[in-house]
């Protein structure tokens, strides 16, 4: 595919069925208030550590969860951090922002089992596994994407939550189709029953939440990162590889993953080799366990 044939990531028009679905669950598909304020601060060049501290301390439970992550071996800080503004000074605003949003998202996945073939908690477990793996892969690439990679991993399948809430009966039907036709991919079943895939639902949600375009691209292209330009494909490619490696562990809901093999072209785009991803895969189960504990799973 030539550069001129690459999809336009900016001018993408949200499919009508996705617009209708988001309208139906507007009260559910809303970023938590604290996270909304944090996103607004992210776009304010004059924002300070004190500003973010003021917002987060208004939600003591969220504040405690953020500090739990900050003080974990995730960051390996030499001393315990007891305040949000101190965390911002040490880790940077972007890192703390992503931790805060990540800590706000699990409520969206705390839904009861939907039919006999799907449990949202299993999807959240898979998302945690992908996020953990994505963070490790980002370290391997030595690019400044570690915190973005973790958040991107958490949200990559968030469109499934929209399908589940807005198209409940059809979603249950789709899971039954998947159960009866093992050779069918998740996206093929989505197209057959729902007419659109979770990438479209999720990307539209990211747009509604005013997430950065790089995160919208992850949600929209994590199954096909090479459709993007060289400059735009890195983070979606990290999530694509993380999705596969996380699925190999068997943790959580893995039916969304279409292959257990990593395309060498995608590895090359990340500057990685098979030995790199095998090293990540070897330590993945223990790291996922730690992340699950951070998110009280």
Q: Give the domains, in start order, of the chain with CATH numbers.
A: 15-294 (1.10.3210.10)
Q: Which two tokens stand for residue 239?
A: 């999530």
> pTM of the full predicted structure?
0.90
Residue carrying structure tokens 């093929």: 188
Count Cβ atoms below 10 Å from residue 253 Cβ, excluding itself.
21
List, for residues 171-206, the tens digit of each pLDDT value: 999 999 999 999 999 999 999 999 999 999 999 999
Q: Return the higher-pLDDT residue of 271 and 46.
A: 271
In terms of phi and psi (left: phi > 0; alpha: psi -120 to 50; beta: otherwise), the region of 114 is beta
List, for residues 70-128, the tens digit of each pLDDT value: 898 888 888 899 988 888 888 888 888 888 888 878 777 766 678 889 998 899 999 99
Residue 200 is predicted with a pLDDT of: 97
């Amino acid at each position: 595919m030539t550069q001129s044939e690459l999809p336009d990531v900016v001018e993408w028009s949200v499919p009508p069925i996705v617009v209708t679905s988001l309208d139906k669950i507007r009260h559910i598909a809303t970023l938590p208030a604290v996270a909304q304020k944090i996103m607004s601060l992210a776009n304010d060049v004059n924002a300070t550590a004190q500003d973010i501290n003021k917002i987060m301390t208004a939600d003591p439970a969220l504040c405690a969860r953020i500090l739990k992550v900050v003080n974990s071996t995730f960051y390996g800080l030499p001393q315990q951090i007891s305040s949000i503004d101190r965390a911002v000074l040490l880790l940077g605003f972007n890192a703390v922002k992503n931790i805060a949003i990540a800590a706000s998202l699990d409520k969206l996945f705390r839904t009861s089992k939907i039919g006999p073939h799907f449990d949202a908690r299993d999807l959240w477990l898979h998302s945690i596994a992908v996020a953990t793996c994505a963070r490790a892969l980002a370290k391997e690439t030595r690019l400044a994407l570690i915190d973005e990679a973790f958040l991107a991993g958490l949200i990559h399948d968030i469109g499934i939550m929209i399908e589940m809430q807005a198209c409940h009966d059809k979603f249950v039907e789709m899971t039954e189709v998947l159960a009866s036709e093992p050779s069918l991919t998740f996206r093929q079943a989505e197209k057959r029953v729902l007419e659109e895939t979770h990438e479209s639902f999720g990307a539209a949600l990211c747009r509604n939440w005013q997430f950065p375009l790089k995160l919208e691209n992850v949600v929209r292209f994590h199954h096909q990162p090479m459709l993007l330009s060289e400059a735009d494909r890195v983070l979606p490619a990290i999530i694509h590889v993380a999705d596969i490696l996380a699925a190999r562990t068997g943790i959580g809901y893995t039916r969304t993953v279409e292959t257990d093999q990593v395309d060498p072209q995608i590895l090359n785009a990340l500057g990685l080799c098979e030995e790199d991803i095998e090293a990540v895969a070897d330590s993945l189960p223990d790291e996922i366990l730690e992340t699950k504990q951070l998110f009280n799973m």
